[in-house]
Amino acid sequence: MKSQSPLHVTRPDAIKLSALIEHLSVTRGEQADLLQEVLDYADIVPSTSITAEVVTLNSRVVIEDALTGKATEITLVLPDQFDPAAGRISVVSPMGRALLGRRVGDVVAVQVPQGESREVRLKEIPYQPEAHGIHDE
C-alpha cells in the first residue's frame, strides 16, 4: 500500500471485522488472512475519536484512478451488503481492504480482477457514520 498516513480502524468496526474473519476462516481462509493483516497493521481507536477524513465501515467515498483521473463513488460495506451495481463494495475485496482506515488524500495500490495493480487516490468522504454521530459503541 502506498498510503502516507497511519491506518485507523474504529473499535466497533474491528469487532465486526474480527467476527467476519472468524466466519471467513472456515470457507475463505485467504480472504480471512488478508483482512486480518489489515487489522494487525491498524491502530484500533474509539469511534468517538475518529476524524471525518478516515474511511470506516459504511462510509461513502470518492476515489480517483491515478492513471485515468476517473472519479468513482463507492460505499464500503460488510459482505452481506455487497452490491456492485449500487456502488456497495465489500470490505473483503481488494479495494475494500485497501481503503479501510485510510484518510482523504491517501494513495493506495489495489489489485484489480485482471491481476494488475492500480493506484487510486481517496479524494473525499461525502458520508462517514461517525461524523454523523453513529458510533455503535
Average pLDDT, the chain: 90
Q: What does the pLDDT read at residue 3? A: 45
Q: How far apart are CA 79 and CA 46, in angstroms?
A: 23
Specify whether the backbone of 44 is left (phi greater than 0), alpha (psi in -120 to 50) or beta: beta
Q: What does the pLDDT read at residue 105? A: 95
Binned at pLDDT 50, 70 and 90, residue 137 comes out as low
Q: What does the pLDDT read at residue 80? A: 93
Q: What does the pLDDT read at residue 81? A: 95
Q: How far apart are CA 61 and CA 106, in angstroms?
A: 12
pLDDT digits (tens, 9 = 90+) for 8-37: 999 999 999 999 998 887 777 788 888 999
Q: What does the pLDDT read at residue 6? A: 83
Q: What does the pLDDT read at residue 4? A: 57
Does the pLDDT value for residue 69 go beyond 70?
Answer: yes
Q: How far apart are CA 93 and CA 87, in angstroms?
A: 13
pLDDT digits (tens, 9 = 90+) for 84-116: 999 999 999 999 999 999 999 999 998 876 677
Does the pLDDT value for residue 76 go beyond 90?
Answer: yes
| End-to-end CA, the chain | 29
Q: How far apart are CA 31 and CA 137, in angstroms?
A: 26
Q: How far apart are CA 85 and CA 75, in angstroms?
A: 11
Residue scoring higher pLDDT (72 or 135): 72
